């Protein structure tokens, strides 16, 4: 049980850091995000816009794939945790 909670918390923090430092800053530099206060709320529209901009530039999508992988692993852990509780 502790394994699931601790791992999920670490993954959530990693996902937020990736979103802030890789995706959020990139969007702010491109003028998509207006101020640092906008970074308090992350959503899938940011991911979509980041992916669109990176593809239009022909740049790598490594951080986009990293954050998707983190959330996939997090989903599997949540399902595993749910079935160990039930």
How many distinct structural domains can be found in the chain?
1
Average pLDDT of the chain, as a whole number: 85
Is the per-residue pLDDT at 72 higher than 80? Answer: yes
DSSP helix, strand, coil percent of the chain (3-state; round to 5):
85, 0, 15
Pair 47, 67: CB distance under 8 Å:
yes
What pLDDT was estimated at residue 20?
A: 85
For 15-52, how does the pLDDT look when each residue is reduced to its tens digit (9 = 90+)? 888 888 888 889 888 888 655 555 556 677 788 889 99
The domain containing residue 13 runs over which residues?
2-33+42-85
Q: How confident is the model at residue 70 (pLDDT cuts 50, 70, 90)?
A: very high
């Amino acid at each position: 049980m502790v394994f699931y909670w601790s791992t999920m918390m670490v993954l959530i923090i990693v996902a937020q850091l990736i979103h802030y430092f890789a995706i959020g800053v990139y969007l702010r530099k491109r003028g998509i995000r207006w101020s640092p206060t906008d970074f308090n709320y992350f959503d899938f529209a940011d991911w979509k816009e980041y992916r669109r901009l990176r593809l239009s530039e022909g740049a790598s999508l490594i951080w986009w794939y990293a954050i998707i992988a983190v959330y996939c692993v997090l989903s599997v852990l949540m399902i595993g945790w749910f079935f160990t509780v039930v």
